Amino acid sequence: MAKILFIYPNKWGRGITPIWIASHYSILKQDHKVELFDATFYKDWTENELKFNTKNKQYKESNYFDLVKFSELPIKDELQNKIDSFKPDIIFWSALSSHIHGEGEYVNIEYGYELLSKVNIYGAKLVTGGLQATASPFIVFDNFKKINFLIQGESELVLKEIADKTDENIAINSISGLVYLDKNKKIKFNQKQKILNDLDILPDYDYTIFDSQSFLRPYNGKVLKVIDYELSRGCIYTCSYCVETVIQKYYGFEEKTPKGALKKAKNYLRNKSPKKVYRELVNVRDKFGIELVRSQDTNFLTIEPQLLKGLEKLILETPLNMKFYIETRPEGINEKSVELLKNLGVDGVGMGLELAGSDFREENLNRYVNEDRIVKAFELLKKAGIKRTSYNIIGLPKQTEKDILETIKFNKQLDPDNITVAFYTPYLGTTEQMKSTKLNYFGSYEKKIDSQLRSVSKDETIPLSQLNYYKENFYNLVKGNQI
């Protein structure tokens, strides 16, 4: 039996229940001992994105901070105490399977390594995975030299195989998906993993490893008990800036149609069965009092119809009495799909506009959807009483200040219930990141990882101070009359 310590280096300033923790724990706990060190609620660690985004009105005011407690104790000392008492054989952090589009998850390798560099690990093996490990192990090993193993692709079964062999001389070269340094410090790549086609073979996700306040989350001015969850994995689209394309590439799916869809997508998309989804949701509802399910599926309405219709039938027969927040694309919204969402209990839908202008989206982002479809989608959802969130990006290469102003005007027209705006993040291995590097937007970006790099670093078209102004005031500019 091995001892595995999970590290979750969250700096968001609010509780999260990452899917990778629930999924990996459900597998490992059967034969091994697993504990979690969650960095979320330490004052000397968090950067508290929640406070920042409440101030700029991306989130509505709530009494969240009256309900959760942040520790005054030094996080370094608390992590050392956890390692001293648990004595882990393996320390693991960062994986695929959850929040893959969020910058907060993308920087997990850096943040986890930063935490571990402050403590004595007593010879524990450092193992990590996720997007950066899948995109460019060379960069990860170059920056984080004490890591023993990287896992490319999905890591649940790979980590289990490593843990199973902890007491033996690990036959490193027999574990698919593993990347490591040999005795001469040269990077060795094992055989690639095969895609996990049947998600039903995974045990039901286990959320008991989380602290109770991790379930509390602000949502439209209220604080609800929430879990993050996935019904499926994969996306049919190939947007040039999206980390999903890194995962597609790893598993050998690179051909795309002229309209930006993945060829042979049915072999890449995978989902659970309706019965498994319904059972898992009933269990978390009854055990933790969950009120809202935050679906992390990349594009909810391209999930296999058999799953969605089957789940709809089960919920109509015996209601879950839970709300859902999902993400999808505007072109999937029509009268029929809106009826499905209502029957499933969907309360909110997040949709990526990225920026106004179909020409820019098509030519630069490989994203095809015209403005009329977006407008229609927002109208249909409003009519159905489903809250609408628009996702916007600023600081994209070749994006001008005029583009940002047009995006603000387009949001005015749509009048979403919630608005989010993010700086463009150059995800390693994406077409957009490679193009940005070629344009010298990031200098020697390919040689380093810096979570704070922005596309304006080499572009003086929009001064950084002006870009920050638009990010901090985007909501007010949309809802007010300033432009």
Q: Is the pLDDT of residue 169 over 60?
A: no
The verdict on 184 and 304 lying in the same domain is no
* CA-to-CA separations, 345 to 272, 301, 326, 337, 339, in angstroms, rounded: 19, 14, 10, 13, 10
Question: Would 219 be classed as within a structural domain?
Answer: no
The verdict on 256 and 397 lying in the same domain is yes
Question: Would 48 be classed as within a structural domain?
Answer: yes
Q: What is the mean pLDDT of residues 157-174?
A: 80
The verdict on 185 and 234 lying in the same domain is no
The verdict on 403 and 277 lying in the same domain is yes
Measured CA to CA, the distance from residue 372 to residue 263 in angstroms comes to 26
Q: What is the mean pLDDT of residues 428-457?
A: 58
Average pLDDT of the chain to the nearest whole number:
89
Q: Which phi and psi (to 5°) does residue 390 adopt?
A: -100, 135
Higher pLDDT, 105 or 15: 15
The verdict on 59 and 185 lying in the same domain is yes
Question: Which contiguous run of DSSP H or E holds residue 393?
Answer: strand 387-394
Q: Where are the beta strands (DSSP E) in 284-338?
A: 292-295, 323-328
Question: Would 343 be classed as within a structural domain?
Answer: yes
The verdict on 118 and 261 lying in the same domain is no
Contact partners, residue 362, CB within 8 Å, separation at least 6:
260, 368
Q: Is the pLDDT of residue 459 over 70?
A: no
287-305 per-position pLDDT tens digit? 999 999 999 999 999 999 9
Among 163, 189, 215, the domain-final residue is 189
Higher pLDDT, 132 or 292: 292
Question: Would 240 be classed as within a structural domain?
Answer: yes
pLDDT at 170 (0 to 100): 63
195: its two tokens: 């895609």
Question: Would 202 be classed as within a structural domain?
Answer: no
Q: Which residue has the tokens 């001389």?
A: 169
Highest-confidence segment of 56-70, 126-140, 374-388, 419-433: 374-388
Total tally of structural domains belonging to the chain:
2
Q: Is the pLDDT of residue 126 over 90?
A: yes
Q: Which of 119, 92, 97, 76 is nearest to 36 (CA)?
A: 92
Q: What is the CATH number of the domain that holds 310?
A: 3.20.20.70
Question: Would 12 be classed as within a structural domain?
Answer: yes
pLDDT at 97 (0 to 100): 64
Highest-confidence segment of 57-66, 285-294, 429-438: 285-294
Question: Would 224 be classed as within a structural domain?
Answer: no
Would you list the DSSP string of 181-226? E-TTS-EEE-PPPPP---GGGSPPP--TTS-GGGGEEEETTEEEEE
Q: What is the mean pLDDT of residues 161-169?
A: 77
> How would you write 427-463 as a 3-class SS string?
CCCCHHHHHHHHCCCCCCHHHCCCCCCCHHHHCCCCC
Q: Which phi and psi (to 5°) does residue 439 adopt?
A: -80, 0
The verdict on 342 and 474 lying in the same domain is yes
391-423 per-position pLDDT tens digit? 999 888 888 899 999 999 999 999 999 999 988
Measured CA to CA, the distance from residue 25 to residue 6 in angstroms comes to 9
The verdict on 182 and 236 lying in the same domain is no
Quick one: pLDDT band at residue 436, thresholds 50, 70, 90?
A: confident
Question: Would 200 be classed as within a structural domain?
Answer: no
Among 189, 206, 239, the domain-final residue is 189
Q: Is the pLDDT of residue 177 over 60?
A: yes
Higher pLDDT, 210 or 96: 210
In terms of residues, how long is the chain?
A: 483
pLDDT at 456 (0 to 100): 38
Q: What is the mean pLDDT of residues 93-102?
A: 70
The verdict on 375 and 462 lying in the same domain is yes
Q: pTM for the whole thing?
A: 0.92
The verdict on 55 and 121 lying in the same domain is yes
The verdict on 403 and 314 lying in the same domain is yes
Among 140, 158, 189, the domain-final residue is 189
Q: Which residue has the tokens 């289990």?
A: 160
Q: What is the CATH number of the domain that holds 140?
A: 3.40.50.2300
The SS3 assignment for 129 reads strand
The verdict on 46 and 146 lying in the same domain is yes
Identify the domain containing residue 245 by its residue range. Answer: 230-479
